Structure formats: structure tokens, C-alpha cells
Amino acid sequence: QSPMTRKAEASEDRTITFVASDNTRDSAGTVLNQDNWDLSRFNSNPIIGYQHKVYGGWDDTQNPDNVIGKGYAYVQEGRLMVDITFEPAEINPLAEKIYQKVLFGSLRAVSVGFLPTGHGKFGVGDEDIDGPNETYYFAGQQLLEISIVNIPANPNALKKGMDADNEFLDAERKRLSPASETKEAEKPAENPQ
């Protein structure tokens, strides 16, 4: 069995390791740069959420139980990994439910929330802007949080996933389009995901 499909195994301290990101093109048409992760912000405040409901201003974000654990992120063999320690049942019944679902295998995916760093680029040929396989390659990312999710954007997120922000990609298309007169002056929008 591949590491993506094997049944999750937890340590005595309720910690499970997930692949959080790799260089696979996700369902939003983006690829994250695995060589240029900034993990310092995440590792100093290692929020593990459920369905990214941890930012504030989104539906049901005021529930502190949407933070279901803590994590430690690191890059290993060209992939972003995260060790997730789930909160105990006595302080968070939602965390316990999600933990049991991960052990059972009905939940097995994670998704990263990040801010882009630097200026990325679109691919060439059919991966160029408006191409049939348009693909945006991020220059780098600052990791903010990781969430257990029902359906990840990255197909390898059976312990990983990503979600791209359409406004950010629209701004990058405009910045990088040959028709844009202001492409050097424009800056990409910040992208918490």
C-alpha cells in the first residue's frame, strides 16, 4: 500500500503524520514550491483546524473547537509533512470525532492555508495563461495553518491538500499577461487558504 492509502496509525500521544503538500498540480491549477516553504510562523503557532474554519469572518469560525489540535511541519524528500496531535476528547469532542474518523479512514486528507511569497509564474505551452492546462507555479509560501478536510484540492492529499484563491490567480494573470502595461507595478494579493 502507498503511504497515502494505508490506514492511519496513531502514537500513544494521538499524533498522526500526514503529507501536507507535494509538487502535484492541484484542482485549482496551481503547484506549490516545495523548496521554498517558510514554516516559522506555523511552527510557532501550529494551528490544526477542521475545514479551514480558523481565520475569523467565515461561517462558524467563532467556535474554538474548530481548532482540533497542534502540529509540527517540516519538508522531507521534497514534500511538506506535518505531525498532527489531536486534542483529547475531554477538551474537544469535535477533535475526538475527527480523530476517530481519521483512524477509521473516512477522513484522511489535509489542506494547507498559506500566503504566497515572491512572484510565481505560469507554465509554458498548454500551461500558459488561458492555455488548456493553465498552471500557476508559486515562487514560495508562508504556511499559516493546516486543516483536516473532507475533499482536498491536491489529489495526493490523502494526508495533504491545497486550495487556491481565484482572486490571487486573477491578479497574477493580469500581472503576467503580455497585454498588461502595469505588470511590474502590480503586486500579488495575499492569499490565506
Indicate if the pLDDT at residue 11 is higher than 80. no
Residues 6+ apart with CB under 8 A from 182: none
CA 181, CA 75: separation in Å to the nearest integer? 38
What is the average pLDDT across 94-111? 94
Are β-strands 37-38 and 109-117 bridged in parallel, bridged antiparallel, or unpaired?
unpaired
CA 109, CA 70: separation in Å to the nearest integer? 16
If you average pLDDT over every residue of the chain, what do you get?
83
Residues 6+ apart with CB under 8 A from 96: 86, 87, 88, 89
pLDDT per position as a tens digit, 24-35: 999 899 999 999
Sorting pLDDT into bands at 50, 70 and 90, what band is 55?
Answer: confident
pTM: 0.79
Indicate if the pLDDT at residue 94 is higher than 60. yes
The predicted pLDDT at position 181 comes to 46
Looking at per-residue pLDDT, the higher value among 183 and 77 belongs to 77
Indicate if the pLDDT at residue 36 is higher than 50. yes
Say if residues 49 and 68 touch (Cβ distance below 8 Å).
yes
What is the average pLDDT across 42-55? 94
The predicted pLDDT at position 163 comes to 35
CA-closest candidate to residue 78, choices 190, 160, 168: 160
The predicted pLDDT at position 164 comes to 39
CA-closest candidate to residue 176, choices 119, 138, 98: 119
Indicate if the pLDDT at residue 185 is higher than 80. no
Here the cell at position 24 is 502535484
pLDDT per position as a tens digit, 117-133: 999 999 999 999 999 99
The predicted pLDDT at position 15 comes to 94
Indicate if the pLDDT at residue 169 is higher than 90. no
